[in-house]
Structure 1
Amino acid sequence: MCIGIPGKVLSVGEDIHQMAEVEVCGVKRGVNIALVCEGDPAGLVGQWVLVHVGFAMSVIDEVEAQETLMALEQIGGLEPVQTN
């Protein structure tokens, strides 16, 4: 089973070949956005994405992201999540 963890895109490079900075459970990490970027990468800043092994697999809305984080926390897959 593969699980995507929601993360919020904080910044992007000039094109899809540069890693985006995504906050996943309070940790900032580099993520490849090539699979979800359909134009100017700057349009992804502030968006939520599902991250799996360093790749953004899909763009999701904030409600789905928060629900997924809470579900993962409840099954013991995550530490308690800080929501802003």
Structure 2
Amino acid sequence: MCLGIPGQVVELVADNDQLAIADVSGANRTVNIGLLDPGVLEPGDWVLIHMGFALEKVDAHRAGEALSGLEMLGRGSTDPQTE
């Protein structure tokens, strides 16, 4: 199992069809989209990103679930809500 971080495509890089800019938790990141079928992405789409590569296009609901899961993983035993 790999851990994918959801990101929303902001733009496709005009001079390189292998790259896109994605908003990942409020920060724009350059993402390699070469593993996805050509023409499948457009601005506003969600992808799961691992090690800088977009692995899969997902819908907004699945992206939200992935983000929720990551937030739960980030809560350790020092989380004030669990003490």
Identify the TM-score tier after normalising by the shorter chain.
Answer: 0.7 to 0.9
Structure number, greater radius of gyration: 2
Between Structure 1 and Structure 2, the one with more strand by share is: 2
Identity rate of aligned residues, in percent? 42
Matches within 5 A, 1:1-84: 1-14=1-14, 15-17=16-18, 19-39=19-39, 43-76=41-74
- Number of aligned positions between the proteins: 74
> Partners in 1 of 2:50 and 2:3 — Cα distance?
7
Unaligned 5+ segments in structure 1 are: 78-84
CA RMSD after TM alignment:
1.8
Structure 1 segments of 4+ aligned residues over 6 angstroms from their partners: none
1:1-40 deviation line (CA, Å, top 9, x unaligned): 52110000000123523x211011111110011111432x
Unaligned 5+ segments in structure 2 are: 76-83
